[in-house]
Amino acid sequence: MVAGQTGLPGGPAAADGARRQLGKVTPTSAGGSNHGRSGWAGRGTATGPTHRRRRRKVNLVLVPVVLVPVVFVAIVVVFVVVIIFVIIVFVVVVFVVVFVFVVVFVVFVVFVVFVVFVVFVVFAFVIGRRTTAALGLLLLGFFFVFLF
């Protein structure tokens, strides 16, 4: 074996060991923790390749390409939900208003017709027109039959 090869008393490994013992250069002092590697492995020396972490670059073209459709879809979904909600509220309000109007109108008409018939019958009895009063009572009876 030739002097200078690893493993011989005067070779680089001996010098490396001497440096480590002196505290001058160690794998940890030369660049971070050792993480279970032996010696200088993985630190760009003859014993192994350099292990560098590769940082992932954010592709700036993908940001608008992904972000624009997502924002657009979110806006459309919110818009559609709001429109559906407004339509439902509008339909319910219109239905309630129409229902209340119809009920009030029907009750009012029934009340007015009933009062008119009663006044007509009472007035006919008071002035002595018994036939007219009987006709009024008959019409009032038909009105109630029609109503119910």
Give tens-digit pLDDT for 2-56: 555 555 565 565 555 655 555 555 555 555 555 555 555 555 555 555 666 667 7
Confidence of residue 143 (pLDDT cuts 50, 70, 90): confident
What is the sign, positive or negative, of the torsion defined by CA atoms of 73, 77, 83, 84? Answer: positive
pLDDT of 127: 81
Q: What residues contact residue 36 under an 8 Å CB cut-off, 6+ apart?
A: none
Question: What is the domain partition of the chain in residue ranges?
Answer: 66-147
pLDDT of 114: 83
Q: Per-residue pLDDT for 97 more than 80?
A: yes
**For residues 23 and 14, what is the distance between their CA atoms, to the nearest angstrom?**
14
pLDDT of 9: 60
Q: Convert the pLDDT of each residue in 103-132 to its tens digit.
A: 999 889 888 888 888 888 888 878 877 787
Categorise residue 130: left if φ over 0, alpha if ψ from -120 to 50, beta otherwise.
alpha
Q: Per-residue pLDDT for 100 more than 80?
A: yes
pLDDT of 94: 96
pLDDT of 10: 59
Q: What residues contact residue 141 under an 8 Å CB cut-off, 6+ apart?
A: none
Compute and round to an integer the Cα radius of gyration of the chain.
Answer: 51
Q: Convert the pLDDT of each residue in 43-96 to its tens digit.
A: 555 555 566 666 777 667 777 777 888 899 999 999 999 999 999 999 999 999
